């Protein structure tokens, strides 16, 4: 049995929670009656808040000494998420909370140099990204996992399979992803001219904060399109995630996502693969990416979202969540 002293301590912690909730209500003009009051009244002591299926936030150290943050939600078949540039694992939260609620174990890490992971000066390339992912998969001993990669994260998934195979992977998904090769070259004539990526690099050095604000408030979510329903919350969230990443890391990553050739990696896919891309993607054009990848990946299923922008994990999250769940169950 708990001692009287411990019980009093828990009760004191609960009172702090209640007072904090009331303070938050005052600061943000939240109602102090009705549902909000009922939620506070029903709050449990701190010692009983944890339950089966909730895991502590963790980090691991890579072979070259980089600390990688990851989150691990729920139980069941593992689903692993790789995020885009210059974001972090929080960018997958709409999919993770949905799929974890459907009985899956959802795992996502902050890529080296991004989010809450440490910021190494070197190693900001796809080979290191893929090897970090492999180390996480091995650390957690994941089996029969589903890998989803968004944008740059799609390159991470492709390079992981190219370097480490599919022994731990049951299925894969490329969402608004950068493979097979973004930059225009003699052997990739339909690619994006290098000048576009040079401009991003120049903008990053000149005023990274403003560059990120311009991307988030404009082409990323399609907020620059006529009639678009603009969410300031999404803009601020994108900007905050970007600014949390290391300057050198995100600068180097521009080359990683734009100039890495994933064509041979895609040919090594041996598992069912879902490819989702918006036909109004202004960041990673569908013809250069989604459609081209679908031609290289065996067993690929291509879904084209009409009118969808690059950031469809948020703008089209309900449709995407359903399609991802259907794919996992298929």
The helix (H) or strand (E) run that includes residue 265 is helix 263-266
**Per-residue pLDDT reduced to its tens digit, 248-262:** 999 999 999 999 999
**Per-residue pLDDT reduced to its tens digit, 13-66:** 433 333 333 333 333 334 444 443 444 344 444 333 334 455 555 999 999 999
85 in the same domain as 24: no
In a domain, 153, yes or no: yes
**Residue 3 pLDDT:** 45
In a domain, 209, yes or no: yes
Q: State mean pLDDT over 274-294.
A: 98
**Residue 30 pLDDT:** 40
Domain at 101, CATH number: 3.40.50.1820
**Per-residue pLDDT reduced to its tens digit, 79-92:** 999 999 999 999 99
Q: Are 257 and 85 in contact (CB under 8 A)?
A: yes
**Residue 57 pLDDT:** 54
94 in the same domain as 20: no
The last residue of a domain, from among 30, 48, 66: 48
**Residue 56 pLDDT:** 56
**pTM of the full structure:** 0.83
In a domain, 242, yes or no: yes
**Residue 37 pLDDT:** 43
Q: Are 154 and 176 in contact (CB under 8 A)?
A: yes
Band of residue 280 on the pLDDT scale cut at 50, 70, 90: very high
- Give the Cα separation of 118 and 100 in Å (integer): 27
**Residue 318 pLDDT:** 98
Task: Give catalytic residue positions.
Answer: 151, 281, 310
Q: Greater confidence, 167 or 2?
A: 167
148 in the same domain as 39: no
204 in the same domain as 70: yes
Query: 304: which DSSP letter?
Result: E
Token readout for 298 is: 């065996």
189 in the same domain as 139: yes
What is the Cα 128 distance to its own chain's centre? Answer: 17
176 in the same domain as 37: no
In a domain, 177, yes or no: yes
Domain count, the chain: 2
Look up the domain containing 275 and give its range: 58-329
**Residue 303 pLDDT:** 98
- Give the Cα separation of 13 and 46 in Å (integer): 7
**Per-residue pLDDT reduced to its tens digit, 159-206:** 999 999 999 999 999 999 999 999 999 999 999 999 999 999 999 999
236 in the same domain as 88: yes
**Residue 299 pLDDT:** 85
Q: pLDDT above 70 covers what percent of the chain? A: 83
Q: State mean pLDDT over 297-312.
A: 97
Three-state secondary-structure class, residue 167: coil
Band of residue 305 on the pLDDT scale cut at 50, 70, 90: very high
Q: Is the pLDDT reported for residue 155 higher than 70? A: yes
Mean pLDDT score of the chain, rounded to an integer?
88
15 in the same domain as 124: no
- What's the N-to-C CA distance of the chain in angstroms? 49
- Give the Cα separation of 225 and 146 in Å (integer): 34
247 in the same domain as 217: yes
43 in the same domain as 76: no
Residue 259, burial from CB neighbour count under 10 angstroms (0-12, 13-18, 19+): middle
243 in the same domain as 170: yes
64 in the same domain as 41: no
- Give the Cα separation of 171 and 269 in Å (integer): 9
In a domain, 53, yes or no: no
In a domain, 182, yes or no: yes
In a domain, 78, yes or no: yes
Q: Are 146 and 80 in contact (CB under 8 A)?
A: yes
The last residue of a domain, from among 28, 48, 68: 48
- Give the Cα separation of 32 and 305 in Å (integer): 42
């Amino acid at each position: 049995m708990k001692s009287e002293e411990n019980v009093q301590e828990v009760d004191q912690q609960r009172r702090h929670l209640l007072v904090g909730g009331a303070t938050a209500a005052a600061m943000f003009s939240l109602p102090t009656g009705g549902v909000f009051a009922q939620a506070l009244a029903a709050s449990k002591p701190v010692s009983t808040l944890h339950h089966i299926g909730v895991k502590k936030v963790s980090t691991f150290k890579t072979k070259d000494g980089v600390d990688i943050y990851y989150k691990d939600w729920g139980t069941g078949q593992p689903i692993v998420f790789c995020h885009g540039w210059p974001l972090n694992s929080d960018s997958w939260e709409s999919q993770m909370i949905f799929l974890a609620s459907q009985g899956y174990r959802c795992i996502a890490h902050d890529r080296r140099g991004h989010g809450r992971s440490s910021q190494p000066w070197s190693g900001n390339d796809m080979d290191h990204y893929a090897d970090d992912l492999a180390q996480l998969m091995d650390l957690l001993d994941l089996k029969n996992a589903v890998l989803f990669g968004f944008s740059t994260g799609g390159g991470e998934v492709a390079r992981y399979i190219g370097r480490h195979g599919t022994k731990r992977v049951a299925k894969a998904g490329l969402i608004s992803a950068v493979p097979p090769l973004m930059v225009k070259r003699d052997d990739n004539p339909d690619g994006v001219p290098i000048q576009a990526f040079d401009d991003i690099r120049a903008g990053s050095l000149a005023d990274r904060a403003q560059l990120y604000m311009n991307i988030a408030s404009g082409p990323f979510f399609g907020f620059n399109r006529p009639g678009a329903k603009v969410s300031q919350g999404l803009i601020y969230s994108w900007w905050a995630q970007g600014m949390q990443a290391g300057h050198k890391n995100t600068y180097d990553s521009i080359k990683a996502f734009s100039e890495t050739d994933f064509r041979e990696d895609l040919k090594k896919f041996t598992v069912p693969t879902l490819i989702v891309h918006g036909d109004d993607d202004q960041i990673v054009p569908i013809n250069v990416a989604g459609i081209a990848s679908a031609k290289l990946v065996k067993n690929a299923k291509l879904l084209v979202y009409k009118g969808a922008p690059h950031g469809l994990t948020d703008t089209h999250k309900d449709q995407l969540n359903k399609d991802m769940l259907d794919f996992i169950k298929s």
